Structure 1
Amino acid sequence: MIKIKKVVSLIEDNIGSLEKDEKDFLENLEDKGWISKDRICLRAIVIKWLLLHSEEFEYFKNKVFYVNNVSITGQLDIEYLKVDFPLVFIDCHFESGINLMISTIKSLFLLTCEVEKLINLTGARIDGQFNCRGTLINGSAIDDENGDKYSVIADNLIVTGNVFFNLSDKKPFVAKEEVSINGIQISGTLDCSGSFFEKGINAQSAQIKQSVFMRDGFKASGEIDLLGAYIKGSLDCGSGIFNNPNGIAIKGSRMMVDGTVFFDAYKDDENTVGKNIRIDGIVDFKGAEITKSFKLKSVEKTDNYKLNLTNAFIHTLEDENTGWPPKGNLILDGFIFENISNESPRKHEERLKWLGLQKKETEFTPQPYRQLANVLDNLGLEKDAREIRIAMNNEIRNKSQKWKQKFWLGFSGMLIGYGYKPFKVLKFALVIWLLGTLFYIAGDEYKLIQPPSKFAYKNYSDSCKLDVLEPFDYYPKFNPLVYSLDVFLPIVNLHQEENWRPVSNKKDSQFYEIFNIKGGGLLNLWMYFQILSGWFLTTMLVGGISGLVRDK
């Protein structure tokens, strides 16, 4: 093994003469790495040569490459680097970028550094942490032919520990251009708390074995793209700021979260509540799957805040109206959930307001109503579930272009509440019963209701008028109230209808002169109507109770 102090001449033989700062750096690196109060200037090629030949030097065995307060000129371009010790840069300034494509590193620390161009870790592997706390990365294009600018491009990077793009002593991580980590595999957490991503994050198909934190001062002015990502822990956006007013603020289409998604005010360990999460753009969770809760609570409302839950699945919806988007900015078609938290609105009045936030320009679909009603049923809130289903049928009736469907829904809704309130029919039955009673009282007064058999009279003769005929004393007395009920009910026999009938051939009554109908003809017509309506309303009642005519 070669000692680090003997390396100066060896490096000069390979890359040319060294500057004074570079010699000082190499000569003092052996003990604890380079630590200096005064910033020195160091060429990237020196660091590159050291790292590529690290196996030859005793210093690097079981140690850390530690550099503090250094200005590094030129691009640190070390593709395919393979070292089994951590690289630690603290308070360093990189005049250009860092290229560690397809490299293997123990850990990479860039703490409170400033990087003028992009950091490229495409296809690399970090067997430990990737820590960028408090670092500023200005970013640049990958090359002259590719005009897209990035601060970090780490597609398909593998990290066996945690990734930190967050605060360091209140100094935030700042990425001036897009951070691209498509297909990244992180065995720990991805912590972006308190950071600022000016052009967003592209993390399509990312695989994160623990949680993702975009909370407590997190700010993004571009799209956060989690399309097809898998997060084994939670996605915590508490008190974050997501600004992309002309597009998608958070894209979680086909994302899977094995924990909870937090859209809420952040609470620290002492339960101090932070500001509301602010969303100025679209939250696209189309086809997403959240196996625990979606906490949608304290959201600062903006006109551009839209929430798309098309075909998403969430186990427990834990929301409040303070987290709902403005009217017309909610899409729930195909949204499936299994539970509503105890802390969330469950009453049908509040949930109907939630459903009413849906976008009206699209064609009406009953699925969100059915889904909500099924969940309320499972929670034992049958009354609220019924009200949701009734509201669904009202919407179908109002939006329907088919006159038959419109007529039937209007009719069944009025009579039995589409089958969910079958006893509404009793109101109509009561009106018909009492109205019939009034008719039969008048008919009895004008002697238009008589026993149907001549053997019922004790003074019957062919020459007698109906006015003077008297039934036997033992003959059942006429009772207009019971008679109306007997005529109306199709099943019950109260023995009034069979013993008394309207007389249709009586011509000498005032009843006849007023209505111009022979004798009790009007009463006969009413009786027929009452019989038919009795059968019909009873059928509707039975059908509603049994569910046979329930409009689902």
Structure 2
Amino acid sequence: MLLVGATASSIIAFNGSRFDGKLNLNSASVGGSLFLRDQAEFQEVDLAGADVAGQVEMTGSTFRGLLNMNSISIGKSLLMGDRAEFREVDLRHADIAGPVDMSGSTFRGPLNMDSISVGKSLQMRDQAEFQEVRLAGADITGQVSLNGSSFAGLLDMHSMSIGRDLHMRDGAEFREVVLGGTDIAGQVTMARSTFRGTLSMDSVFVGKSLVMGEQAEFRQVVLIAAEVSDFLDARNSSFRALELTGARIEGTLLLGSRNGTVTWASSNDGDGQPVPPRLSLRNATVGALQDGVDTWPRELQLELEGFTYDRLGGLQTGERSLPHERGSDWYIDWLSRDRFYSPQPYRQLGRILESYGHREMAADILFANRARERAESGPGEFKWWVLSALQFTIGYGYGWGYLRALCWVALFTAAGTLLIRGARNGVGDGRRPGFWYSLDMLLPVIRLNERHYDVDLSNDWRRHYFYVHKLFGYFLVSVIIAGLSGLTE
């Protein structure tokens, strides 16, 4: 039927009809609503450029060929749900003032809605079945709901604008999803759904919370440079890889609590070799980090360089959630799991622990940082020798490390005392030089007794030891001054 450019002042209804050929309503103008419902059957339908003042309803009908609604304008709602069946649908650049409902229907071919504009909500839920779906650049004023539906092909939603929430939960199944650059004013929920391919959300903006927890299954999630205005919840869900590089989460990153923790699953590469799970927090920023003691398994490949947070813990904390309950060793072990060494994660944690008043724990963390830096360099590097000297003399200048310097003073003073007692020359009053002489020779600049400097060891083999004795004193004092002034940090 050829109705190209036709004009109708009221409704047009094809309810329950059957068309064996093409129905062409290209550029038609309908003053009322357009009905193609009630188990009607169509082959190819062309509604490109049509202008419908009312609603367009296709519920319960079958479209065996291309349904072309490119650039259509609809004054009210577009209803395509209630077990309708479609082959290929083109809704690019369509302008729909009301809601779009595709709930419970089956789309056996591609559904292209690139740059569509919807004045209210987009409903694609209730066990609807889709193949490839494209929504790139779409503008949806209300919410988008994909709850409980199945997407067997690519779901491309990049650069969308969603005025309210995005729901992808309650048993929904996805293959590959692209949400890069999408702006979502409300929250995003993915609870109890399955993502069998990559979920790409790089540079996404979420105006509220991002809920990925509650028994959802993810393969690879990419949130590079994403921004979440509230919290991100991943508890009780499974991930093979979670990429949060450069992400910014204003609230809490919830990885564990008394109600459960995130779990990590291994996968296999193309050769059947196991691939360990991976979590990248490189250059990510979160308001608070809330985890559990079981959040970080040994097999997890962890990247922490540049990761910053303002607080540890949050609401619904679980067992051993507070820093003093875990202790320094637990945190040092956690930081050691970072695949690539960087001092920043250690300094970040040390700063937070010190702000909580746990100064000894902070010192332990900073000491562990220097110890790992030394281990990473090796004896073949000059840095290793410098760090070794700092470690053995002042404990890198952290906590009680300066007590090591006192131990060295005591050791050298005792050694000098034992050696000098055998010297022939006294200290001017006939007494043999001893403890105070040894200490005076060790301390640079300071002179405890001028008579100690009258002792002549020029013909005594002990003079060689006291050369080393004095040099070590200068070295030790220099290291202490450098440590106290912060030059060793």
TM-score (norm: length of structure 2): 0.79
Match of 1:227 among 202, 220, 224: 202
Task: Compute the RMSD of aligned alpha carbons.
Answer: 3.7
* Aligned CA distance change for structure 1 residues 230 and 16 (closer, same or farther; 3 Å): closer
Between 221-230 and 323-332, the greater mean CA deviation after superposition: 323-332
- Mapped partners of 1:158, 1:41: distance in 2: 30
Is the 8 Å Cα contact of residues 252 and 288 (structure 2) preserved in structure 1? yes
- Mapped partners of 1:53, 1:75: distance in 2: 19
Q: Higher Cα Rg: structure 1 or 2?
A: 1
Query: In the alignment, which residue of structure 1 is the partner of 2:41?
Result: 43
Q: CA deviation at 1:535?
A: 3.5
Query: In the alignment, which residue of structure 1 is the partner of 2:4?
Result: none
- Mapped partners of 1:480, 1:99: distance in 2: 99
- Mapped partners of 1:113, 1:283: distance in 2: 32
* Aligned CA distance change for structure 1 residues 208 and 286 (closer, same or farther; 3 Å): same
Give the secondary structure class of the aligned counterpart of 2:115. coil
Query: In the alignment, which residue of structure 2 is the partner of 1:488?
Result: 442
- Mapped partners of 1:494, 1:16: distance in 2: 110
Following superposition of structure 1 onto structure 2, how do residues 466-481 of structure 1 map, counting pairs within 5 Å?
Answer: 480-481=434-435
Instruction: String of CA shifts for 1:199-233, please: whole Å, max 9, x gaps.
Output: 12111211111111112x11110110112222222
Is the 8 Å Cα contact of residues 114 and 136 (structure 2) preserved in structure 1? yes
Match of 2:410 among 393, 410, 430: 430
Is the 8 Å Cα contact of residues 18 and 42 (structure 2) preserved in structure 1? no
Instruction: String of CA shifts for 1:92-141, please: whole Å, max 9, x gaps.
Output: 231423322211111111222222223221111100000112133242xx
- Mapped partners of 2:169, 2:18: distance in 1: 44
Query: In the alignment, which residue of structure 1 is the partner of 2:245?
Result: 286
Between 406-415 and 88-97, the greater mean CA deviation after superposition: 88-97
Is the 8 Å Cα contact of residues 440 and 448 (structure 2) preserved in structure 1? yes
Q: CA deviation at 1:387?
A: 2.6
Is the 8 Å Cα contact of residues 157 and 178 (structure 2) preserved in structure 1? yes
- Mapped partners of 1:16, 1:103: distance in 2: 21
Q: CA deviation at 1:493?
A: 5.1
- Unaligned runs of 5+ residues in structure 1 are 18-28, 140-149, 167-171, 265-275, 457-470, 472-476, 506-517
Is the 8 Å Cα contact of residues 422 and 545 (structure 1) preserved in structure 2? no
Query: In the alignment, which residue of structure 2 is the partner of 1:466?
Result: none
Query: In the alignment, which residue of structure 1 is the partner of 2:87?
Result: 96
Query: In the alignment, which residue of structure 1 is the partner of 2:346?
Result: 369
Following superposition of structure 1 onto structure 2, how do residues 515-526 of structure 1 map, counting pairs within 5 Å?
Answer: 521-526=460-465
Give the secondary structure class of the aligned counterpart of 1:498. helix
Query: In the alignment, which residue of structure 2 is the partner of 1:305?
Result: 277
Is the 8 Å Cα contact of residues 110 and 135 (structure 1) preserved in structure 2? no
Query: In the alignment, which residue of structure 1 is the partner of 2:391?
Result: 413
Q: CA deviation at 1:159?
A: 0.3
- Mapped partners of 1:199, 1:235: distance in 2: 20
Instruction: From the two aligned structures, give the one with the greater strand fraction.
Output: 2
Match of 1:112 among 94, 104, 115: 104
Instruction: String of CA shifts for 1:8-55, please: whole Å, max 9, x gaps.
Output: 79x999x999xxxxxxxxxxx99xx999xxxx5213479977x95744
Give the secondary structure class of the aligned counterpart of 1:315. strand
Residue 144 of structure 2 corresponds to residue 156 of structure 1: no
TM-score (norm: length of structure 1): 0.71
Query: In the alignment, which residue of structure 2 is the partner of 1:277?
Result: 237
- Unaligned runs of 5+ residues in structure 2 are 1-7, 24-32, 267-275
Q: CA deviation at 1:431?
A: 1.5
Match of 1:385 among 358, 362, 365: 362
Following superposition of structure 1 onto structure 2, how do residues 129-144 of structure 1 map, counting pairs within 5 Å?
Answer: 129-139=121-131
Give the secondary structure class of the aligned counterpart of 1:222. strand
Q: CA deviation at 1:324?
A: 2.6
* Aligned CA distance change for structure 1 residues 354 and 287 (closer, same or farther; 3 Å): same
Is the 8 Å Cα contact of residues 178 and 197 (structure 1) preserved in structure 2? no
Which letter maps to 1:218? S
Is the 8 Å Cα contact of residues 161 and 187 (structure 1) preserved in structure 2? yes
Which letter maps to 2:200? D
Aligned positions, number: 446
Same amino acid, percent of matched pairs: 20
* Aligned CA distance change for structure 1 residues 114 and 12 (closer, same or farther; 3 Å): closer
Which letter maps to 1:410? S
* Aligned CA distance change for structure 1 residues 153 and 400 (closer, same or farther; 3 Å): same
- Mapped partners of 1:318, 1:8: distance in 2: 58
Instruction: String of CA shifts for 1:418-477, please: whole Å, max 9, x gaps.
Output: 23323321111112223333345x53xxx835243xxx5xxxxxxxxxxxxxx6xxxxx7
Q: CA deviation at 1:291?
A: 2.5
Match of 1:543 among 469, 482, 487: 482
Match of 2:216 among 234, 241, 253: 241
